Amino acid sequence: MNKKYEIDMTQGALIPKIFLFALPLMASSMLQLVFNAADTIVVGRFAGATALAAVGATGALINLLINLFLGLSIGTNVLMARYYGSKDDEKMSLVAHTSVAISVLVGIFLAILGFFVSRPVLTIMGTPNDCLDQAVLYMRIYFVAMPVVCLYNFGSSILRAVGDTRRPLRYLAIAGVLNVGLNLIFVICFGLGVAGVALATGISQCLSAFLVVRCLMRAEEGYRVELGKLKIDKAEAAQIFRIGIPAGVQGMLFSISNILIQSSINSFGSIAVAGNTAATNVEFFVYFSMNAFSQAALSFSSQNYGAGIYKRVNKVLLDCQLLSAAFGVGLGLLALYFAGVLLGLYTEDPEVIQYGILRLSVILPIYLTCGMMDIISNQLRAVGFSLTPVVICVVGVCGIRILWLYTVFASNRELTTLYWSYPVSWIITLLAEFAVYVHFMIKLNSKLKAKENVA
């Protein structure tokens, strides 16, 4: 395997390389969303609004259970990028084999956990009775595939760390086509409903994981994976956990606040839940366009940090923020303008569509702040401050949203009031993260100058 898929992020103009990295990643996310949308569209149109609500009601809980452990893949990304930037093949190999081994163990644990906690937690969340059984069924089947989901995510993190976002796109496209085909067969032909969608997703994820692992096994560079060498290196695992667990906790805390919000949405009935589900799927297209630049910031900053080029880290931040904001504003306004048409792809129910438009009208105009917030979080992780974004997000996102639920929303129980908890929390958190980032970068640059003076 040659190096045509890799990117040396420590040299040359940044913006062309950021685009080269981010556009395939963006396309991968969009493609994944298209396939997920196909799941939702097939369920909504051929299994009804109740089935659509059942799938949507599981989202926050699924994210809660997997975010903590998939956050570990961020630790893999950061370490691999650092060692790639410092040209340390031995360390790259240790990280690759340790990460694959961890992913399998984490996946097995999640499969068992998700299967047994699905019904009691969905019940506690107040999932409407008319869709509870279907939601439980969907979630249990979904979690059976967790080992391959984790394997794909950790493997993709290794490839992203060295600049390779094109092959994961290719693998995702292949698996996605299979997913759509199986959806049509299982749901329309066999009438399996939410179970058919979950089965199609799990089978396609097996294929994507296989393709990523095969790619790593055929690599000629330091990140090559050999099955006979799979083991957990204690030193590298400790670093992966040190960086990844705070990232996972942050994602988990986001999910906790979202579960509370989802529980409040559930109180408005299954039609409101269905509208929220459809709108969330539309939002994700905008979010993942911005998230591609957040992932770029993580990998580019980690490589340059590993190479000791701190000034270039600041340039990465600026370029990624500008690009993320441009995509967030452009796609957000476009999605808002065509909101009725886009939501109509998921359902023909006019009441569901109106509920979806309500959410989009609040979220999309200010969505760029969410992307900017994610970029600074990843910048802080890349330069070694993995715990800081968690602390800020506990207060700025989770704290504000929970406070909002029990004060502002409690005094005015309207969906619009509830949805405003998102942009308010993003803005407050973004301002706090920026102030902290400036403080830490001043400290890093001071250390660099001190080293130069000693030399």
Query: Could you tell me which of 143, 147, 139 has the C-alpha nearest to residue 194?
Result: 139
Count of beta carbons in the 10 Å neighbourhood of residue 112 = 12
Cα dist from 64 to 61, 114, 256, 330, 389, whole Å: 5, 10, 6, 30, 18
So what's the pLDDT on residue 455? 46
| Angle at which helices 368-382 and 234-266 cross, to 10° | 160
So what's the pLDDT on residue 221? 82
d(CA 111, CA 107): 6
In whole angstroms, how large is the CA radius of gyration of the chain? 21
3-state SS class at 139: helix
pTM equals 0.79
d(CA 27, CA 166): 9
Positive/negative CA dihedral, 234, 239, 242, 245: negative
Per-residue pLDDT of the chain (455 residues; tens, 9 = 90+): 446 778 888 888 899 999 999 999 888 878 877 777 777 778 877 777 778 778 877 876 777 777 777 778 889 999 999 999 888 999 999 999 999 999 999 999 999 998 998 899 888 878 888 888 998 999 999 999 999 999 999 999 999 999 898 998 899 889 988 988 998 899 888 888 888 988 998 999 999 999 999 999 998 888 999 998 999 999 999 999 998 888 888 877 777 777 788 888 888 888 888 899 889 888 988 998 999 999 999 999 998 888 888 788 889 999 999 999 999 999 999 999 999 999 998 788 899 999 999 999 999 999 999 999 999 998 888 888 888 888 898 888 888 998 999 999 999 999 999 999 999 999 999 999 999 888 887 777 676 666 555 54
So what's the pLDDT on residue 263? 84
Diameter over CA atoms, the chain? 73
Residues 6+ apart with CB under 8 A from 312: 10, 14, 304
